Every structure is written in structure tokens, then in C-alpha cells.
Amino acid sequence: MRLILLGPPGSGKGTQAQRLVKRYGIVQLSTGELLRSAVAAQTPVGLKAGDIMASGGLVPDDIVIGIISDRLDQPDAKKGFILDGFPRTVPQAEALDRLLKTKHMKLDAVIELRVNESALLQRVESRVAEMRARGEEVRIDDTPEVLTKRLASYRSQTEPLIHYYSERRKLLTVDGMMTIEHVTREIGRILAAIGAVEAKASRKPGAAKRIARTGARKASKSAAGGARAAGKGAKASQKVGNPASKGAKKPLRKAPASSKARGAAKAVKAPKKVTKKRAKA
């Protein structure tokens, strides 16, 4: 299962990604974590990214793609993955398509969590107010002001991906304003439907023909066997004595007369002999 989760900040992508990881045993690939891990591991790509990040610059797409490529080669990614936070732009999506093609992989679905932005802002405002009322510390990036800027960035950069993946028939939209449980169930239902379709589509094109040919051979063998059995039965019936077949070749013999019938016949013939002798006398 290879997925991309799309949605503006606060849509619940992270929560749903964690649930999908537990349910399907796949890995979550977050570009931020991948970059930090590559830098910590001092991989060739990580060293390039580290220098750029240290200077405060944005990591180029080719370096991010290189880090994702290295991560996809690891054994735990063979079962599948969820890309969270990448791609963010159409050029990144095109680069990801090229990467997956070289690895002979394909995306199963791009799930968009569609939400109402004004409702999101109200959620954040309520959550911040509750946290402050409890005396909890509020994150800098979890305020209505920051969220407003992030939503604007999402609309300008990431929203075009909806059209991009919709054209490629990969986009599936879920109402992100539902409860967490409802969203989870809806995603599970969609993925189950995709799995059923994939199972049918995964059959090789020649499979149906091979099945048909096998069935035809079995049917012809069965018919030939039936014909041979019928021929043997006909020969056997001729040997045993089929009245219909014998009647066509030889006339039926007369049944032998009983002893009483023979005696009666002699009794009838006897007077004739006596009459002849009297006539001679």
C-alpha cells in the first residue's frame, strides 16, 4: 500500500497516518524527519542537505527526492509507505512519479482530507484558549495567525496537486470535518475498495486466455472420453445381443416347441397313416 495524504494544516493528516501505519504495517515518510535522519547519518545526500539547512536555505527538490529514494530502498519500506508533507508542489509530484517509475513502484491512492478553513481556524482558537486556561504552553506554530499563513501557502503551492492527481485518477477525497473515528473508517472503506480492484487488475492479461484454453482442453477430453465410452458400449451391446441390431441382420429363429405340442402334432398325423394302410388293405 503506497499512499500520499493531502490536506491543509490541521486537517488531521498526522493522526490518520499513524493509524494507517498500525493497521497496514507500512512506514510513514515525513520529509522533515527524513532530512534530519539523513543529516544525522551523514549520508552523501544528508551532508548536502545539512549544509543548506545550516545556512537557513530551502533544501532543493532533487536532494529531497534523493533522500526519499534512499529511504524507499530500506527493507521496511517494501510493504508500503505513506508520504506525509511531500510532494508539496506539482514539480515535486512529477519528480516523485519519475522516481517511483525507476523503482517499478506505483502509487495506490492520494487521499485528500478536505476541510473548511474557517472551521479550522475556530478549532485552533478554541484549542489555544483551552490550553491557556489550563496553564499549558502553546506552540508558536499552533496559533490562528500562523495557521492563516500556512493555509495561504497551502492554497498557492499544494492545492494544485489536487488537480494533478485527479487527472491521473489517483485522488480520493474524504470529509476531514468528520470525527477522527469517522475519517478513519471512511479511509479504511476506500482502501478496501481499492484492494478489491487491484486484486482483479493484478491478474496477468493472458490469465483469462490460459484459463479458457485449459477449460477447452478439459472439455474436449471429456467429450472424447464420452465418445469412446459410447463406442465401447455399442460394441458391448452387439456382443451381448441387442435384439434391434440382430433383427436388422438375421431373421429371428422360431422358438422350439414344447413336448406337449410335439405330442399333439403326432396325434394329428397318426390317423393319416392308419387311413393309408386301410386304404391299401
**150 counts as catalytic:** yes
Q: Is there a contact between 49 and 39 (Cβ–Cβ < 8 Å)?
A: yes
Q: Is 169 a residue of the active site?
A: no
Residue tagged active-site, from 2, 19, 114, 150: 150
Euclidean distance between CA atoms 81 and 91, whole angstroms: 21
* Catalytic residue (choose from 88, 114, 123, 170): 88
**Residue in 134, 139, 169, 273 annotated catalytic:** 139
Phi–psi pair at 204, nearest 5 degrees:
-70, 150
Sign for the CA dihedral angle at 55, 57, 63, 64 comes to positive
Virtual CA dihedral for 233, 236, 240, 245, nearest 10 degrees?
70
Q: Which residues pair with residue 4 across a beta bridge?
A: 83, 110
Distance CA 145, CA 78 (A): 40
Grid cell digits, residue 224:
472424447
Q: How far is it, in rounded angstroms, from Cα 202 to Cα 198?
A: 6
The type of residue at 201 is: A
- Can you tell me whether residue 141 is helix, strand or coil? coil
How many CB atoms lie under 10 A from the CB of residue 171?
18
Catalytic (active site) residue 98: no
Separation of alpha carbons 11 and 15, rounded Å: 9
C-alpha distances in Å from residue 49, one per residue of 24, 39, 68: 31, 7, 13
Q: Is 262 an annotated catalytic residue?
A: no
d(CA 263, CA 254): 18
The catalytically annotated residue of 2, 114, 123, 127 is 127
Query: Does residue 36 carry a catalytic annotation?
Result: no
Supply the residues annotated as catalytic. Answer: 13, 88, 127, 139, 150
